């Protein structure tokens, strides 16, 4: 597959992200404009909850979905606060909720707390809306813990499992993605994968697409089952599609 073909696949599965601490209305307007690029559109934009309504105004009438984050980035354990935040985001128009798993609870062996959080949010995310559970694999580190977190999220009703918040020293890695894909395959459930954080080049995107093709079969990785969470890979994907030399990635995610 050529770089242009890989880039087209990646672009259409992109969750174009702005979770910078200093995000502005103007930045959201620019993000939504990129999301509607003729080479795409991308699958979704992923924004802070306070920008869901503005994103909805920008994207009205388009197929681009609006994702937002809850329990982000720390992965706390206050279920009622997180369900309140989720309900508010859904009321504002979010189509997808990216929930950070209480990964510290899981690390200390408190599986029940982590499962309760996912199940409580799952109960709210209905009517064709998606729940993506962020495992924070760079903090879990241990392959056995990553596998356990994957199974827990899938069993509790996740539509996608996602590697990372992009706010920790280690974000997506192929090793973690492989463990997650194996858990998805073993479950037999229609669950997707979202590698996120640190994906900046067409070659980076290709690593994850190739993993999905190898483990799940070619054709599995569509926007319904595969997303790339990134801000900085967009320009490189567009350059590859247009046959230009790769541009330097800008952005932190």
pLDDT (tens digit, 9 = 90+) per residue, 4-24?
999 999 999 999 999 999 999
CATH number for the domain whose boundaries are 3-242: 3.20.20.70
Q: Which pLDDT tens digit goes with each residue over 167-220?
A: 999 999 999 999 999 999 999 999 999 999 999 999 999 999 999 999 999 999
**How crowded is the C-beta side of 105, counted as CA atoms within 13 Å?**
21
**Active-site residue identified among 98, 159, 204, 235:** 98
**Active-site residue identified among 85, 194, 204, 235:** 194
Q: Which pLDDT tens digit goes with each residue over 205-250?
A: 999 999 999 999 999 999 999 999 999 999 999 999 999 975 555 5
The DSSP bridge partners found for residue 18 are: 47
**Catalytic residue list contains 98:** yes
Q: Name the residue ranges covered by the structural domains of the chain.
A: 3-242
Q: What is the pTM of this model?
A: 0.96
Mean pLDDT value across residues 150-157: 98
Residues 160, 43: Cα–Cα separation, whole Å: 14
Q: Which pLDDT tens digit goes with each residue over 43-71?
A: 999 999 999 999 999 999 999 999 999 99
Give the per-residue pLDDT at 141. 97
Q: Which pLDDT tens digit goes with each residue over 90-125?
A: 999 999 999 999 999 999 999 999 999 999 999 999
Residue 253 has pLDDT above 90, yes or no: no
Give the per-residue pLDDT at 1. 86
**Catalytic residue list contains 159:** no
Q: Tell me which DSSP letter residue 36 carries.
A: T
| Beta strands across the sheet bearing 65-70 | 192-194, 160-162, 130-134, 96-100, 65-70, 44-47, 14-18, 228-230
Give the per-residue pLDDT at 184. 98
Residues ≥6 apart with Cβ < 8 Å to 67: 15, 44, 45, 46, 47, 94, 95, 96, 97, 98, 130, 132
**Active-site residue identified among 15, 18, 34, 162:** 162
Task: Calculate the alpha carbon distances from 132 to 12, 15, 178 in Å.
Answer: 18, 12, 17
**Catalytic residue list contains 162:** yes
């Amino acid at each position: 597959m050529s770089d242009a073909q890989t880039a087209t696949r990646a672009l259409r599965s992109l969750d174009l992200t702005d979770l910078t601490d200093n995000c502005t209305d103007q930045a959201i307007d620019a993000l939504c404009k990129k999301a509607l690029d003729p080479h795409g559109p991308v699958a979704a934009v992923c924004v802070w909850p306070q920008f869901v309504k503005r994103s909805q105004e920008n994207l009205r009438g388009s197929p681009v979905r609006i994702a937002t984050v809850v329990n982000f980035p720390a992965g706390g354990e206050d279920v009622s606060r997180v369900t309140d935040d989720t309900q508010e985001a859904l009321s504002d128009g979010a189509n997808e909720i990216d929930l950070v798993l209480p990964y510290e609870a899981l690390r200390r062996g408190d599986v029940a707390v982590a499962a309760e959080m996912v199940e409580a949010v799952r109960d709210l995310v209905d009517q064709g809306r998606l729940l993506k559970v962020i495992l924070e694999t760079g903090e879990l580190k241990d392959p056995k813990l990553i596998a356990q977190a994957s199974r827990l999220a899938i069993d509790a009703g996740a539509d996608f499992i996602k590697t990372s918040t992009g706010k920790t020293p280690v974000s997506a890695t192929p090793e973690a993605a492989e463990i997650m894909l194996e858990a998805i395959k073993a479950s037999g459930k229609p669950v997707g994968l979202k590698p996120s954080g640190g994906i900046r080049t067409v070659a980076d995107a290709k690593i994850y697409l190739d993993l999905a093709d190898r483990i799940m079969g070619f054709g599995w990785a569509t926007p319904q089952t595969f997303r790339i969470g990134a801000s900085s890979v967009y320009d490189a994907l567009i350059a590859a599609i247009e046959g230009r030399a790769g541009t330097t990635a800008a952005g932190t995610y």
